[in-house]
Structures are given as structure tokens and as C-alpha cells.
């Protein structure tokens, strides 16, 4: 029986990455019924200026699983992030971002195998912001002034609210412990800044400790975010699963991506109780769109995560092994994975997929 999966090509380099990935997934022999849905900056005009048309959400709700390419998010202005909107609309409260070393990938670090689990709907990314001189922020401005803090309100001042709830914290921390247990992981580290933000991050830490008590078989520890960044660079081997509020999780996942060779090696998933969207961590790189140049590894590894979620564990392992083999050989890889980025033997996105498909075809499925 075929699995029904929503496929969102995205924009920028997204369509090239998702097409290459779709071909590799199909080469594993797993039957997928793809429901292609368009979203992002490139299709806004087709849907009345909406980068996230209702039918995209309806498809994911029906299929419960989606493979998504990167979508452009304007910086500082423009429409709100489609990625953030998807997470909130579908209540995908946990984001899983693995960081794993692969032979043949240039990095100063070896044998990295970490997982960042990021709270996905709260914290500063909830987008609760004001200008201090606007009508809807006057009371807040008055309150801040009454506390005696020396803010300068003569000019425009931006105020961002950091909501962290007990329910939101409890479910994502429990997700992290359940993930650790299901995947044979030994330790969960909760990341915070409770020494400074005592009400928000203090709540996060308290709830983390309460949830940890429910999982005596999993080691638990806590780390302050700035110290955590230093620890990951100095001794990443001491850590296993990290769970963090939204902003810290975003920062840490990029840091871990740097340990394993960059964002081109960074897959991810957004998970809720009723929807799961698999996508790479990196952006849409519009300047490379249509050039058959981008590295599809993160997109493909996201599809490996998707196959595991669908229960196709053998196909997922064969796909990951084939990707690892092509990378280790270093012959049919994109320019960014070569010692010399100007190496004329570098292949394109599609040819990288061809090489992986050839490896998959040379193996007899278990």
C-alpha cells in the first residue's frame, strides 16, 4: 500500500532539491503517492498574494506527512515566514535537527552524532511584537517606565514578548525524552538562560526537571545557553540530545550543522501530534535557483527521516548508506563538497541523485 505524502517543492533551489530527492526515495522501492502542493514567494500571485494557500494545510492535515523544500523568508519586511506559519497552524511543536558526521565531508570535527530538539511554537519566534509608540503598546510602555528601567522612548523602540508556557514546555521536553528512549539515546540536556530570565527560562528549567523525573532510564542535565555553545565546540562528544526553547534551538542547530560540515548536511523535521513536515535546515538560496548546482544532501537526509517515521526503516537505512557511500567516494558530489570549490569534476544536483540511485540499484534489498 502506497504512503500518501504531501510534497511542497518550495522556491529558490527547493524545486531542484525536492525533485532529486523524490527520485532517490522512489529508487528505494517504497511506494509513495505524492500530493504536490505549491507554496512560497514564487507562487503568491497565483493565490491572491498568499504564500501559504489553504489547500497546502488541508493536504498536510489529510496526509499527516509532508516533504518540503526550502521557502524564502523575507528579512525585516514582507510576508511572515511560511515555515513559522506552518508550525503554528499545524501545531507542530517540536523540531528535530540531527547533526551527524559523514566520511568525506570537510570538517574539523569527527564522530559527531547530536540531536537538537527545538520548541517550535512559542518563545520570541511567536512573533508578539510592538513599536513602543503605537497605540497597542502604550500600556506596556507605561509599565516598563514605571519600573525605572532606563529605556529611551524618544525614538521608535521595538518590544518583543517572550511567551513560554508550562504546557508548551512540558510537551516538547517529554517529546525529547521519548525520542531519546525510542532511538537508544542516553542523555537529554535542557538548555536555558534561567539565571537571567527567571520567569520564562526559569519555568522552562523547572518543567524540564519535572519531566526528567518521569524518565529515570535517561540521564538528564541542564546547561546555560552561552556555556552550551562553548561546550559544543570544545567537547561535543559529551552530549547526545539537546532540548531548547525556540530561539536557542535555532541557534544551536546551526552551530551543530557547522560541526558536521555546514547547513548542506543539516536535515530536520517538524513534529506534532497530527502532522509531520520534513525539510532541510538551510534556506532557499534564490541566487542559485535553476542552476542545478545546490547540494541536496540535507533534503535527502530529511527524506531518510521521513521514511523512518513511515516505518520504512530498511529503505531509510539503505538510502542513508547510499548517500554516505557517494559522499565518501567524493567523485559524484556537488562543488561545495570538493576540496577545491572550483573543481571541474563537481557534478550538479541531479547528477548527485543519479549517483545515489546507481548505488541503490546495485544492492539487493533486504
Q: Which of 68, 88, 100, 193 is catalytic?
A: 193
Q: Is pLDDT of 161 > 90?
A: no
Q: How many CB atoms lie within 10 A of CB 316?
A: 22
Question: Where do the domains of the chain lie, and which CATH numbers do they carry?
Answer: 1-97+265-366 (3.40.718.10), 108-125+165-259 (3.40.50), 129-162 (no CATH)
pTM > 0.75: yes or no: yes
- How do beta strands 276-278 and 158-160 pair? unpaired
pLDDT higher than threshold 50 for residue 77? no
**Of 125, 271, 325, 332, catalytic:** 125
Taking CA atoms, 130 is separated from 36, 134, 135, in Å, by 37, 7, 9
The terminus-to-terminus CA distance of the chain in angstroms comes to: 18
Q: How many helices (H) and strands (E) does the chain have?
A: 11, 12
Extended beta strands in 30-167, E state = 32-36, 65-68, 94-100, 113-119, 129-131, 158-160
In this prediction, residue 76 carries a pLDDT of 44
Q: Which of 91, 133, 186, 226 is catalytic?
A: 226
Query: Is position 250 annotated as part of the catalytic site?
Result: yes
Please say if the pLDDT value at position 358 is more than 60: yes
HSE, CB side, 13 Å, CA atoms: give it for residue 223: 23
Measure the CA–CA gap between 47 and 49, rounded to whole angstroms. 6
Active-site position among 250, 271, 325, 332 = 250
Average pLDDT, the chain: 90
Q: Residue 160 above 50 pLDDT?
A: yes
226 catalytic residue (yes or no): yes
Q: Give the DSSP per-residue string, 219-269.
A: EEEEEEHHHHHHHHHH-GGG--EEEE-HHHHHHHHHHHHHHTT-GGG---E
d(CA 229, CA 254): 11
Residue 192 has pLDDT above 50, yes or no: yes
> Is 239 known to be catalytic?
no
Amino acid at each position: 500500500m502506497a504512503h500518501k505524502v504531501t510534497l511542497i517543492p518550495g522556491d529558490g533551489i527547493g524545486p531542484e532539491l525536492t525533485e532529486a530527492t523524490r527520485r532517490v526515495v522512489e529508487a528505494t522501492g517504497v511506494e509513495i503517492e505524492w500530493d504536490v502542493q505549491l507554496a512560497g514567494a514564487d507562487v503568491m500571485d497565483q493565490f491572491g498574494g498568499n504564500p501559504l494557500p489553504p489547500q497546502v494545510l488541508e493536504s498536510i492535515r489529510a496526509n499527516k506527512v509532508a516533504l518540503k523544500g526550502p521557502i524564502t523568508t523575507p528579512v525585516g519586511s514582507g510576508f511572515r515566514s511560511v515555515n513559522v506559519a506552518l508550525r503554528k497552524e499545524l501545531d507542530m511543536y517540536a523540531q528535530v535537527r540531527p547533526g551527524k558526521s559523514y566520511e568525506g565531508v570537510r570538517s574539523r570535527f569527527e564522530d559527531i552524532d547530536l540531536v537538537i530538539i527545538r520548541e517550535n511554537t512559542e518563545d520570541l519566534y511567536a512573533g508578539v511584537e510592538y513599536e513602543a509608540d503605537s497605540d497597542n503598546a502604550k500600556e506596556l510602555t507605561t509599565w516598563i517606565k514605571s519600573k525605572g528601567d532606563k529605556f529611551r522612548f524618544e525614538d521608535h523602540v521595538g518590544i518583543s514578548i517572550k511567551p513560554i508556557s508550562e504546557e508548551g514546555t512540558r510537551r516538547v521536553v517529554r517529546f525529547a525524552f521519548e525520542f531519546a528512549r525510542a532511538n537508544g539515546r542516553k542523555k537529554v540536556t535542557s538548555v536555558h538562560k534561567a539565571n537571567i530570565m527567571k520567569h520564562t527560562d526559569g519555568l522552562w528549567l523547572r518543567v524540564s526537571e519535572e519531566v526528567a523525573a518521569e524518565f529515570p532510564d535517561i540521564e538528564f542535565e541542564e546547561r546555560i545557553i552561552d556555556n552550551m555553545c562553548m561546550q559544543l565546540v570544545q567537547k561535543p562528544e559529551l552530549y547526545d540530545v539537546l532540548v531548547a526553547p525556540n530561539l536557542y534551538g535555532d541557534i544551536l542547530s546551526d552551530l551543530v550543522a557547522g560541526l558536521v560540515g555546514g547547513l548542506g548536511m543539516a536535515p530536520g523535521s517538524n513534529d506534532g501530534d497530527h502532522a509531520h513536515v520534513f525539510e532541510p535546515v538551510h534556506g532557499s538560496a534564490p541566487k542559485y535557483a535553476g542552476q542545478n548546482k545546490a547540494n541536496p544532501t540535507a533534503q535527502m537526509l530529511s527524506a531518510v527521516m521521513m521514511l523512518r517515521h513511515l516505518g520504512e526503516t530498511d529503505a531509510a537505512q539503505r538510502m542513508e548508506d547510499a548517500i554516505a557511500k557517494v559522499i565518501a567516494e567524493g567523485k559524484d558530489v556537488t562543488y561545495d563538497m570538493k576540496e577545491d570549490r572550483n573543481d571541474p569534476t563537481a557534478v550538479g544536483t541531479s547528477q548527485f541523485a543519479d549517483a545515489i540511485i546507481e548505488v541503490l540499484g546495485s544492492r539487493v534489498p533486504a
